[in-house]
Amino acid sequence: MFASDRFLPDGLLARLIETRVRYPEFSSSAAAARVRRPQLAPDGKLNILAADHPARNVTKVGENPLAMADRRDYLARIVRVLSSPRVDGVMATMDILEDLLSIDGLLRAAGAAALLDHKLLIASLNRGGLAGSSWEMDDPVTGATPAACQAWYLDGAKFLLRVDEKDPGSLKTILAAVQAINECDALGLPMFLEPLPVTRTDKGYTVVKTAEALARLAGVASALGVSSRYLWLKLPYCEHYEMVARSTTLPILLLGGESAGDPAPFLRQLASAMRAGPNVRGALVGRNVLYPGPEDPLAMAEGAGGIVHEGWSVEQALASMGDIRGKELDRLTASL
């Protein structure tokens, strides 16, 4: 089992908080010092971690309703995953990105290997459609703006576009998405758009994971804004995923949804999706990588990265985990 308190102990979290208090510009200075990669996807594929759930009031993992509300544990898992060379970067809200940049800056100051050099940092723009709220489908930009992404030397932006055809709030979110896409296009900034058809049930909004619904909405999403040249789509897996892939020529990254608590189901979906069409180019996944049951998040990230970048089978990915599980848990404490 991954021991997050050993990998990122409370003492290091206290140091991070002290840095926020005493040196509020530390994270932005670290952003300027970070070495960025010259291309978004050098081999045409991406394996990116998603870490923006708490900002939308989503903290539940399995039976634990507050798993993602523990910021020390959450950060430990994120940093653990980012230490994998098969992980291209992270998509998160600015508070998370600033914490990661500060950790990166502390490592540099200590003469240790940097955490974020050549990694993609992507800001999550809209988190205002809080889960369970009466305005959930009206989801404007409440996080970083495209201009802020440029100022912080970030590598892209992400926008969640959930569409319930019976809720007029969805139209407002579509218009907010168009504005964000246009602003990103003007800056030459990649946009990762997550169009999800949803329906309301007694338990809240549920994603409609059928090939027909996803293909239709992918066609709508591909046409938003002044240009689609910097646009990537983030779409969930479903049966007959080749129908979804054929609905657009835009590159597609697979999302993961709620954690299965077991690495195998998601890895099977990822391997299947990668065979569905030439535009399926990888994954942008959060909970299934961060919380893979008792498995080490680093081992899970490596397995997914092997499928995306190396063309591994699911069996190869699962077999690789034993070589990585539990290794270098003292990396941060030894450096800082």
Confidence class of residue 268 from pLDDT cuts 50, 70 and 90?
A: very high
Q: At residue 278, what is the residue type?
A: P
Range of the domain at 25: 4-335
Confidence class of residue 335 from pLDDT cuts 50, 70 and 90?
A: confident
Report the pLDDT value the prediction gives residue 289, as an integer from 0 to 100. Answer: 96
Each residue of 52-94: pLDDT tens digit? 999 999 999 999 999 999 999 999 999 999 999 999 999 999 9
Each residue of 87-130: pLDDT tens digit? 999 999 999 999 999 999 999 999 999 999 999 999 999 999 99
pLDDT > 90 fraction of the chain, expressed in percent and rounded: 90
pLDDT > 70 fraction of the chain, expressed in percent and rounded: 100
Q: What are the two backbone dihedrals, phi and then psi, of residue 241, each rounded to the nearest 5 degrees?
A: -65, -20
Q: What is the mean pLDDT of the chain?
A: 96
Specify the number of domains making up the chain.
1
* Residue 289 belongs to domain with CATH number: 3.20.20.70
The DSSP result for 39-66, as a single string, is SS-TTS-EEEEEE-SGGGT---BTTBTT
Each residue of 286-310: pLDDT tens digit? 999 999 998 999 999 999 999 999 9
Answer for the pair 210, 201: CB distance below 8 angstroms, yes or no.
Answer: no
Q: At residue 202, what is the residue type?
A: D
Q: What angle do CA 141, 164, 56 make, to 5 degrees?
A: 40
Confidence class of residue 274 from pLDDT cuts 50, 70 and 90?
A: very high
Report the pLDDT value the prediction gives residue 215, as an integer from 0 to 100. Answer: 98
Strand partners, 293: none
Q: Kindly report whether the global pTM for this prediction surpasses the value 0.85.
A: yes
Task: Provide, for the chain, the percentages of residues in helix, strand and coil under a 3-state DSSP scheme, each rounded to the nearest 5.
Answer: 45, 15, 40
Report the pLDDT value the prediction gives residue 261, as an integer from 0 to 100. Answer: 80
Q: At residue 274, what is the residue type?
A: M
Determine if residue 279 is left, alpha or beta; phi over 0 gives left, psi from -120 to 50 gives alpha, anything else beta: alpha
The DSSP result for 259-322, as a single string, is --SSHHHHHHHHHHHHTS-TTEEEEEESHHHH--TTS-HHHHHHHHHIIIII---HHHHHHHHH
Rg (CA), the chain: 19
**Element containing residue 235 per DSSP (H, E):** strand 231-236
- Residue partners of 121: CB distance under 8 A and separation at least 6: 31, 34, 89, 90, 92, 97, 100, 101, 152, 153, 154, 155
